Structure 1
Amino acid sequence: MSAAMIRSERCGQVALVRLASDNPLNPLTDALMDQLIDVLLRNETDPQVHATVLTGSDKAFAAGADIVAMSKLDYASAFSDDYIGRSWDRIRTARKPLIAAVGGYALGGGCELAMMCDIVIAADDAVFGQPEIKLGIVPGAGGTQRLPRAVGKSTAMLACLTGEPLSASEALAYGLVSKVVARKRLIEEAIRVGEQIARHSLPVIVAIKEAVNRAFESSLSEGLLFERRLFHAGFSFADQKEGMAAFLERRQAAFQNR
């Protein structure tokens, strides 16, 4: 059995999940990713968890994929085993919000893992990048696809074709992260954002995440139709009745997540 490389704790309705490999750079080995997926899937089925904060060590969120393992691969084994895709793609199935709290290095697979999350909050010492070109390979977990959607084609090309990193302030200016905070406030701020989300109706949280994600995967007209259908469906929720009644009665809503 692999040693535990993920630490998880609850902060009210927010789960705090830490990448905690023996290596402080948190290389994203198959074993670590399998454990991470298991924890995230448990949070998906836990009705008390409304959002998850994902973070790393003091030195790195994650400084890349497992280069030792990759150095031994050939095409046949990478393809037949669906290397990276086998486990990483399961993160896309998470319906509840994922908040990346990034401090230190988020390079290669680490940057790609952060981009899989719904919100990215960076410490002022965070460093983002896709240095795969320096290893003679193409990014394999979304670096060439999610990065252009976040920062635009030109900046993504510069990052991927040179392998040079982006500082936290550059990542904020380019739209890769939502906000930058002092390192000592990183976890506190990420949990605060998670708590802001978690106080709302869980079915509505899930629906909004689906609708925003649809904006990146469909045409505007299809996305608008999808949004409108979710809007109409929302009138079947007990939480819609409660939310609007609370507004009209000038009180705090007591959502029941149904």
Structure 2
Amino acid sequence: MTWETISLDIDDDGVATLTIDRPEKLNSLNVTTLEAIREALTEAEEAEARVLVLTGAGEEAFIAGADISYMKDLSTPEAQAYAELGHEVADRLEAFPAPVIAAINGYAFGGGCELALACDLRVASENAIIGQTEIDLGIVPGWGGSQRLSRLVGDETARRLIFFGDRVDATDANEIGLVGEVVAHDRIDDHVAELAAELAAKPRFALSTAKEAMNMVHEQPQQAGLAFERRAWSGLFGTHDQREGMEAFLEDREADFE
């Protein structure tokens, strides 16, 4: 499929790159764009992508947020529908059956920050500026930020970021745990491509299982998560990748995973 406001490219190694392509609007998210992202995630999943990279077009923004010009005059029912669509996209990123990397190459405010929070890994350009800035619009995070942010940065730091609407640069974001690493702006695409290629070479089913197990930390009591981990761990035995990985280790060679 092709879309006007996003692009999806899947290479021969199974690395899917989903780019929000509205640079003239700082890649802000209107309904059309959110629906396109949802469709692209379905396409990437059906193509059995081994890694998904989420990024924004242009030199200024990852995703500057939700489309304020669209939101300004929404009624409560219309706002509810918009919130549900944004939540669906964020939830789909979080549950995508492969690692998802946010390549934060510029502004990531509001809904843009929230989609980054739903990814597994966050790599920031040194030019990135990140924040849950909704409070200064008279609203609150509406696509999961009130729940996901504290998991990364802790409760009080999350409250400060949301209450004050602070914008933090890449270095500070890294220090508080909001992003995993910071790279030079002109290196972010290459660096993320290297990470994605390394992940794509890992056993796909084991990575998917690991992600599902770790996501349960936020969804189930610990004992339920531990029970799932036991089942998932033992269920990988007898698969091609388990046998190949262990044989390759014992034979001191590179594994040939499916």
TM-score of Structure 1 vs Structure 2, range by shorter chain: over 0.9
Counting aligned pairs with the same residue, the percent is 38
Partner of 1:55: 55
Greater shift in the superposed pair: 22-31 or 83-92: 83-92
**Distance (whole Å) between structure 2 residues aligned to residue 185 and residue 174 of structure 1:** 22
What stretches of structure 1 of length at least 5 have no aligned partner?
none
- Does the 8 A contact of 1:127 with 1:166 survive in 2? yes
Shift of 1:86: 5.2
Equivalent residue number for residue 167 of structure 1: 169
- Contact preservation (8 Å) 1:37, 1:91: no
Seen in structure 2, the aligned counterparts of structure 1 residues 13 and 83 have a Cα distance that, compared at 3 Å, is: closer
| TM-score of the pair, normalised by structure 1 | 0.92
Unpaired runs of 5+ in structure 2? none
> Contact 1:29 / 1:65 at 8 angstroms: preserved in 2?
yes
Count residues in correspondence: 254
Residue 122 (structure 1) shift: 0.4
Between the aligned partners of 1:93 and 1:85, the Cα distance in structure 2 is 12
Change (3 A) 1:144 1:244: same
1:40-189 alignment, distance < 5 Å: 40-47=41-48, 49-57=49-57, 58-79=59-80, 82=84, 84-85=86-87, 87-189=89-191
Q: How does 1:188-227 map to 2 (within 5 A)?
A: 188-227=190-229
Q: Which amino acid aligns with 1:251?
A: R
Query: 2: CA distance between counterparts of 1:216 and 1:169?
Result: 27
Amino acid at match of 1:30: V
Q: For 1:33 and 1:248, how far apart are their aligned partners in 2? A: 47
- Give the deviation of 1:78 after TM superposition: 2.6
Q: Is the 8 A contact 1:201 1:239 kept in 2?
A: yes
Amino acid in structure 2 at the alignment position of 1:111: C
Q: Which amino acid aligns with 1:16?
A: T
Quote how far apart the aligned CAs of 1:150 are.
0.7
TM (norm. structure 2) is: 0.92
- CA change 1:74–1:24 in 2 (3 A) is closer
Q: CA deviation at 1:3?
A: 5.9
Q: What secondary structure, in the 3-state scheme, does the structure 2 residue paired with 1:17 have?
A: strand
Secondary structure at 1:138's aligned position in 2? Answer: coil
- Cα 1:13–1:77, aligned 2, differ >3 Å: closer, same or farther? closer
Q: Deviations over 1:58-81 (max 9, x none)?
A: 110011101112112111333366
Tell me which residue corresponds to 1:38: 39
Deviation by residue 1:13-44 (Cα, 9 ceiling, x = unmatched):
21222111152411111111111121121111
Q: d(CA) in 2 for partners of 1:28 and 1:240?
A: 41
**Which residue in 1 is equivalent to 2:7?**
7
Are the structure 2 counterparts of residues 41 and 204 from structure 1 closer, same or farther at C-alpha, using a change threshold of 3 Å?
same
The CA deviation string for residues 206-234 of structure 1, in whole angstroms up to 9 with x for no partner, is: 00111111122223322222111111101
1:84 partner letter: G
